[in-house]
Amino acid sequence: MRCKTCDYRLWGILGRECPECGASFLPSEFEFVPNSVRFCCPHCGQDYYGTGPQGHLSPAEFDCVRCNRHICMDEMTLFLTTGVEEEQTLVERMPWLDRGRVSFFRAWMRTILMGMVSPGRLMRLTPGEGSLGRAWWFATLTSVVASLGAVLPVVVFPVLMIGSRSGAALGMWGLAVLGLLLWPTVVIGLWGAFTHAVLAMTGQRAFGPGRTYQAMCYSAAANVISAPPCLGVYFTPVSMVWWCVSAILMVRGGQRVSGGRAAAAVLSFPLLLTAGVTCLIVFVAIPGIRTAQRAVVTAAPQVNVALVSSNLLIYAQQHRGRAPGHASELVYDPGLPAYTLVDNDWTALAKTPVANTDLQQFSTASTAAQRATAQAAAKALPANVVAHRLGHFVFTCHGIDFNNADPGLWTVVSAPEKRRASSDPNVYIGLANGTTTSVPRATFTQSLAAQNALRASQGLPPLPDPRRVTHTQPATAPAG
Ligand SMILES: [Zn+2]
Ligand SMILES: [Zn+2]
């Protein structure tokens, strides 16, 4: 019992004024834990114990058993019961609902601490009915402040880059603020609904849904774990687990149900959510990615032959109409990406030989080293070569003068050595004017014959089937 004005200890004082500050007081204005306070008759000193509600005497007015005078509680002298410390006389209050008596910040911090460390006690101190609005206010305030550190960096950096005045930045800010303010309500709204539904389906409970929502709101204290800016993200799993455990203990105490039922009820929503997200990934996202990947792989030869063909033309235009001695030159002149030559199959790079190295190492070497390797590869080709292979492509451009060539001449043929079972029915071919064409696989032999007729008219030796040209065996012109 302390003076409400100056906090002076008022035990053992007969007068009804604080000796320190003069403020008047009455014992009935205080609450005590029952039996913790001894009331003494002001006339004879007889002891009485406060066993009633709020630790008061019951009744408050009576005749003293020793001196027989009529006395009332408010005129008696109060002492601590022997063996009781002052703290033990204090009635414990739910700090959040007791905000008028301590500062707002202290009430908030105490509620967070109690919600995390002894959630069952916090729930016991919270009246079963009413005060749901204040529970929501606690949850929103705590969760919003705790997630500020995690959300702000995500928003601030993009806005700094876009510029803070643009409409897009304002829109992002608006969305972020809205999400920041509303997420606790959305999460607790859904979570509480699932939790109470499971409780309702599995038997008796002490209170209505409001009590379950109180538990979900006050257990949100655990969100402070993820409050540290930037680092908080890494603690989020911990705060989520803590929130679940606190909520289970609060639901168990608050609704007076078994621990198992409380756990089943509280965990129903997170488990369903996890299952839903997993299903979404397995049945929607992964097939979508697979389809996209397949489309890329299927389209790769068509796209890449166009790239190779146009790079050949660029090379020829810069070298008086002549094709490179070996196709690996294209990688540094004019700069064809090496993976184009293996249809974006990165694993094939290391399996594609270029002189005494492979395309993987070649693609990362210095330009000087690349030039030396490409020259060695060109030198290694037979003098009468008509076609050589590099990766998935067979180059048929030897001897063609691009400046005066018939635009129908084949310069490169897309012909992977190991054709995939599902590959499309066409063979893709680059032409001397830098464009491409496709020939049905079924009639390729006829197309090759027509091409050789065209080559003959241009004074070029005939081609064998380009699909049979390997890295080790370039095609050569027939003797004579
Ligand atoms: Zn005082
Ligand atoms: Zn007495």
The string of pLDDT tens digits covering residues 350-360 is 999 999 999 99
**Whether the predicted pLDDT of 162 surpasses 70:** no
Instruction: Identify the CA nearest to 244 among candidates 274, 226, 269, 214.
Output: 269
- Distance from residue 10's CA to the centre of ligand 1 (Å): 8
Please tell me the distance from the alpha carbon of residue 129 to that of residue 161, in angstroms, as a whole number: 50
Q: Are the C-beta atoms of 78 and 12 separated by less than 8 Å? A: yes
- Encode pLDDT of 101-140 as tens digits: 778 999 999 999 999 999 998 998 888 776 789 999 999 9
Torsional class of 6: left (φ above 0), alpha (ψ -120 to 50), beta (otherwise): alpha
Ligand nearest to C-alpha 40 = 2
**Whether the predicted pLDDT of 457 surpasses 60:** yes
**Whether the predicted pLDDT of 421 surpasses 60:** no
- Encode pLDDT of 186-205 as tens digits: 999 999 999 999 999 999 88
- Distance from residue 34's CA to the centre of ligand 2 (Å): 22
Please tell me the distance from the alpha carbon of residue 363 to that of residue 367, in angstroms, as a whole number: 9
- Distance from residue 74's CA to the centre of ligand 2 (Å): 14
Q: Are the C-beta atoms of 51 and 37 separated by less than 8 Å? A: no
- Distance from residue 5's CA to the centre of ligand 1 (Å): 5
- Distance from residue 72's CA to the centre of ligand 2 (Å): 11
How high is the pLDDT of residue 164?
58
Q: Are the C-beta atoms of 350 and 425 separated by less than 8 Å? A: no
Give the other-Cβ count within 10 Å of 307's Cβ: 16
Ligand nearest to C-alpha 7 = 1
Ligand nearest to C-alpha 44 = 2
Instruction: Identify the CA nearest to 344 among candidates 393, 285, 389.
Output: 393
Q: What number is the average pLDDT over the span 32-37?
A: 90
**Ion ligand 1: residues, CB < 5 A:** 3, 5-6, 8, 18, 20-21, 23
Instruction: Identify the CA nearest to 429 among candidates 461, 387, 396.
Output: 396
- Distance from residue 65's CA to the centre of ligand 2 (Å): 7
Ligand nearest to C-alpha 41 = 2
Please tell me the distance from the alpha carbon of residue 249 to that of residue 215, in angstroms, as a whole number: 9
- Encode pLDDT of 204-261 as tens digits: 888 899 999 999 999 999 998 888 776 767 888 899 999 999 999 999 999 999 999 9
CA 318 vs CA 79, 314, 321, 324, 366: distances in Å: 106, 6, 7, 11, 21
Strand pairing report for 410-414 and 393-395: antiparallel
Helix (H) or strand (E) run with residue 274 in it: helix 259-280
Helix (H) or strand (E) run with residue 203 in it: none
Q: State the DSSP string of 384-426.
A: TEEEEEETTEEE--TT--TTT--TT-EEEEE--SS--TT--SE
- Distance from residue 7's CA to the centre of ligand 2 (Å): 29
Q: What number is the average pLDDT over the span 160-175?
A: 70
Residue 142, classified by CB atoms within 10 Å of its CB into exposed (0-12), middle (13-18) or buried (19+), is: buried
Ligand nearest to C-alpha 13 = 1
Ligand nearest to C-alpha 75 = 2
Average pLDDT value for the chain? 89
Strand pairing report for 47-49 and 357-358: unpaired
- Distance from residue 243's CA to the centre of ligand 2 (Å): 55
- Distance from residue 170's CA to the centre of ligand 1 (Å): 54
**Ion ligand 2: residues, CB < 5 A:** 41, 43-44, 46, 64, 66-67
According to DSSP, residue 357 is labeled: E
Instruction: Using the structure block, give the residue that is written with the tokens 């509620």.
Output: 111
Ligand nearest to C-alpha 15 = 1
